[in-house]
Structure 1
Amino acid sequence: MGSDSHYEIPAIEFSTCSAKLDRGTEKWFSLCKRVREACENYGFFEVVYDKIPVEFRAEVFSVTREFYSLPLETKKKNVNPKSFHGYYGQFPQAPLYESFAIEDASNYESLTSFTHQMWSDGHDQFSNTMSGMVNKLDELKEMIDLMIRDSYGLGENPDSIMPSKTKIRVQKYSAPPSGEYMNGLNAHTDKQWTAILCDNQVSGLEFETKDRSQWLKLYLPPTSFVFIVGDSLMAWSNGRMHSVKHRVMMCGEKERYSFGVFGIPVEGTIIKAPKELVDEEHPQLFKDFEYMDFTKFSTSKETMASMESAVHIWAFAGISS
Structure 2
Amino acid sequence: MASAEHHPFEFQTALKDLANSANLKAVPSKFNFINDSTALPCDSLPVIDFSAITAEDPDRRSQAINDLSNACQEWGLFILVNHGIPEELMNATFTATREFFSLPESEKKKYEAKSASDPINCGNFNVADTSNQIFTLWREYLKLYVHPDFHCPNKPHLLSDVLREYSERTLKLTRKLMEATSDALELERDYVEQVLKLDSSLQILVANLYPPCPEPGKAIGLPQHTDPGLFTFLIHNGVAGLQIEHNGQWFNPVSPQNSILVNVDDQLQILSNGRYKSVKHRAVLNSEKERISIVVANGPSGEAVVGPATPLVQKDGRPLYRSMRYVEYLETQLTKSRMNGKSLLEQRMI
User: Which residue of the partner structure matches residue 295 of structure 2?
Assistant: 260
Tell me: higher relative CO, structure 1 or 2? Use CA pairs within 8 A at least 6 residues apart.
2
Which of residues 106, 115, 119 in structure 2 aligns to 1:81?
115
Tell me if the contact between 1:33 and 1:151 (Cα under 8 Å) persists in the aligned partners. yes
Distance in 2, matches of 1:40 and 1:149, equals 14
Which of residues 160, 164, 170 in structure 2 aligns to 1:131?
164
Distance in 1, matches of 2:158 and 2:186, equals 42
- SS of the counterpart of 2:168? helix
- SS of the counterpart of 2:254? coil
- Structure 1 residue 101: Cα displacement: 1.2
- Structure 1 residue 4: Cα displacement: 2.9
Please, which runs of 5 or more residues in structure 1 have no aligned partner? none
Tell me if the contact between 2:216 and 2:285 (Cα under 8 Å) persists in the aligned partners. no
User: Which residue of the partner structure matches residue 318 of structure 1?
Assistant: 349
Q: Greater CA deviation, 3-12 or 134-143?
A: 3-12
User: Which residue of the partner structure matches residue 96 of structure 1?
Assistant: 138
Tell me if the contact between 1:271 and 1:289 (Cα under 8 Å) persists in the aligned partners. yes
- SS of the counterpart of 1:257? strand
% same residue: 24
- Structure 1 residue 70: Cα displacement: 1.6
Detail structure 1 runs of 4+ shifted over 6 Å in the superposition: none
- Structure 1 residue 2: Cα displacement: 3.9
User: Which residue of the partner structure matches residue 54 of structure 1?
Assistant: 87
Structure 1 residues 135, 280: closer, same or farther in 2, change over 3 A? closer
User: Which residue of the partner structure matches residue 250 of structure 1?
Assistant: 285
User: Which residue of the partner structure matches residue 226 of structure 1?
Assistant: 261
Please, which runs of 5 or more residues in structure 2 have no aligned partner? 1-36, 127-133
Structure 1 residues 275, 160: closer, same or farther in 2, change over 3 A? farther
- SS of the counterpart of 1:103? strand
Distance in 1, matches of 2:218 and 2:80, equals 27
Tell me if the contact between 2:41 and 2:252 (Cα under 8 Å) persists in the aligned partners. no
TM-score normalized with structure 1 length: 0.84
Tell me if the contact between 1:105 and 1:168 (Cα under 8 Å) persists in the aligned partners. no
User: Which residue of the partner structure matches residue 203 of structure 1?
Assistant: 240
Structure 1 residues 138, 157: closer, same or farther in 2, change over 3 A? closer
Tell me if the contact between 1:234 and 1:241 (Cα under 8 Å) persists in the aligned partners. yes
Distance in 1, matches of 2:69 and 2:146, equals 27
Deviations 1:255-279 (A, max 9, x none): 1101121113323210022221114
> What one-letter code is carried by the residue in structure 1 that aligns with 2:214?
P
Which of residues 48, 52, 60 in structure 2 aligns to 1:12?
48
Structure 1 residues 286, 8: closer, same or farther in 2, change over 3 A? same
- Structure 1 residue 218: Cα displacement: 1.6
Distance in 2, matches of 1:134 and 1:264, equals 13
- SS of the counterpart of 1:299? helix
- SS of the counterpart of 1:278? helix
User: Which residue of the partner structure matches residue 310 of structure 2?
Assistant: 275
Distance in 2, matches of 1:81 and 1:184, equals 21
Distance in 2, matches of 1:7 and 1:231, equals 25
- SS of the counterpart of 2:160? helix
User: Which residue of the partner structure matches residue 18 of structure 2?
Assistant: none
User: Which residue of the partner structure matches residue 78 of structure 2?
Assistant: 45
- Structure 1 residue 127: Cα displacement: 1.4
Distance in 1, matches of 2:253 and 2:179, equals 25
Distance in 1, matches of 2:325 and 2:164, equals 29
Which of residues 176, 185, 202 in structure 2 aligns to 1:165?
202
User: Which residue of the partner structure matches residue 238 of structure 1?
Assistant: 273
> What one-letter code is carried by the residue in structure 2 that aligns with 1:82?
A
Distance in 2, matches of 1:2 and 1:45, equals 21
Distance in 2, matches of 1:281 and 1:49, equals 35
- Structure 1 residue 98: Cα displacement: 1.1
> What one-letter code is carried by the residue in structure 2 that aligns with 1:41?
E
Deviations 1:117-157 (A, max 9, x none): xx3xxx44211111221122112111111111111122444
Structure 1 residues 217, 283: closer, same or farther in 2, change over 3 A? same
- SS of the counterpart of 2:98? helix
Distance in 2, matches of 1:129 and 1:290, equals 31
Structure 1 residues 256, 276: closer, same or farther in 2, change over 3 A? same
- Structure 1 residue 306: Cα displacement: 4.9
Q: Greater CA deviation, 1-10 or 253-262?
A: 1-10
Deviations 1:33-55 (A, max 9, x none): 11111011111111113522323
TM-score normalized with structure 2 length: 0.78
- SS of the counterpart of 1:104? strand
Distance in 1, matches of 2:229 and 2:46, equals 22
Structure 1 residues 206, 192: closer, same or farther in 2, change over 3 A? same
Deviations 1:139-190 (A, max 9, x none): 2111111111111122444355422122111111111106757521111011
Structure 1 residues 132, 306: closer, same or farther in 2, change over 3 A? same
- Structure 1 residue 234: Cα displacement: 0.8
- Structure 1 residue 291: Cα displacement: 1.5
User: Which residue of the partner structure matches residue 183 of structure 1?
Assistant: 220
